[in-house]
């Protein structure tokens, strides 16, 4: 099960990177989608807002919900709520998280329908993690392994992101995004391990969202 998740993540990341470099035009309106939806269409207007859910987060048993609102031709603000939990997840018996994000997004060109719209931006938000696991060692010397943990931490995180959004008409959107940042703990508690090493954590995000635009 873990191997399948890793393979799927690698495939999605590879497709996204190749698309961004212009080597694969999977979502290009000049190829596949132009035959279905015509040429590049109208501008994405400021009116209304887009509600999206990250399909990849369903692996963690909960949806992740985002609301994006354009405030001029090239820029938008996005609010996101995330939550998830899993058992036997990457050397962890139990892993749970929840958090909120606010992100500013800049489209490199005026976003239009029936066109791949690339963007970059920054985000900040809160994050809560619960990690519970029984440690183990490998080999006769026991030099390799990981420790037992019963950890709960609350952090503030900041980072940047790159992505691409495709609007089918002025309603349906597919949004792929990669984010990378760092979270600093302001509160931690571990019943087993020392808290001295619990300073912060890497914040890596992969989003593959589907959304719908509602008009005011």
Task: Give the separation between CA 214 and CA 216, rounded to whole angstroms.
Answer: 7
pLDDT at residue number 81: 95
User: Which CATH code, of 3.20.19.10, 2.40.160.20, 3.40.50.1980, 2.20.28.160, is assigned to 28-214?
Assistant: 2.40.160.20
pLDDT at residue number 211: 95
CA quadruple 109, 113, 115, 119: dihedral sign: positive
Per-residue pLDDT of the chain (216 residues; tens, 9 = 90+): 443 443 444 444 444 444 444 433 433 334 344 434 445 578 887 788 999 999 999 888 888 999 999 999 899 999 999 999 888 777 788 889 999 999 999 999 999 999 999 999 999 999 999 988 876 766 655 566 666 778 899 999 999 999 999 999 888 999 999 999 999 999 888 877 655 557 889 999 999 999 999 986
pTM: 0.72
pLDDT at residue number 29: 39
CA quadruple 24, 80, 124, 183: dihedral sign: negative
Task: Give the separation between CA 161 and CA 214, rounded to whole angstroms.
Answer: 24
pLDDT at residue number 150: 84
- Extents of the domains making up the chain: 28-214
Task: Give the separation between CA 82 and CA 131, rounded to whole angstroms.
Answer: 17
């Amino acid at each position: 099960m873990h191997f399948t998740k890793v393979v799927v993540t690698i495939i999605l990341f590879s497709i996204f990177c190749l698309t961004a470099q212009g080597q694969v035009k999977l979502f290009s309106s000049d190829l596949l989608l132009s035959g279905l939806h015509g040429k590049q269409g109208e501008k994405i207007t400021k009116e209304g807002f887009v509600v999206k859910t990250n399909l990849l987060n369903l692996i963690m048993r909960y949806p992740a919900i985002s609301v994006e609102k354009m405030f001029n031709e090239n820029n938008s603000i996005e609010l996101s709520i995330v939550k998830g939990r899993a058992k036997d997840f990457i050397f962890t018996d139990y892993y749970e998280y929840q958090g909120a994000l606010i992100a500013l997004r800049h489209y490199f060109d005026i976003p239009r329908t029936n066109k791949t719209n690339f963007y970059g931006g920054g985000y900040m938000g809160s994050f809560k993690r619960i990690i519970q696991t029984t440690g183990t060692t490998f080999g006769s010397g026991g030099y390799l392994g990981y420790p037992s943990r019963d950890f709960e931490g609350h952090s503030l995180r900041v980072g940047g992101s790159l992505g691409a959004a495709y609007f089918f008409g002025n309603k349906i959107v597919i949004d792929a995004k990669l984010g990378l940042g760092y979270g600093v703990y302001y509160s931690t508690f571990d019943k087993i391990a020392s808290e001295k090493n619990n300073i912060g954590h890497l914040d890596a995000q992969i989003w593959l969202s589907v959304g719908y635009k509602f008009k005011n």
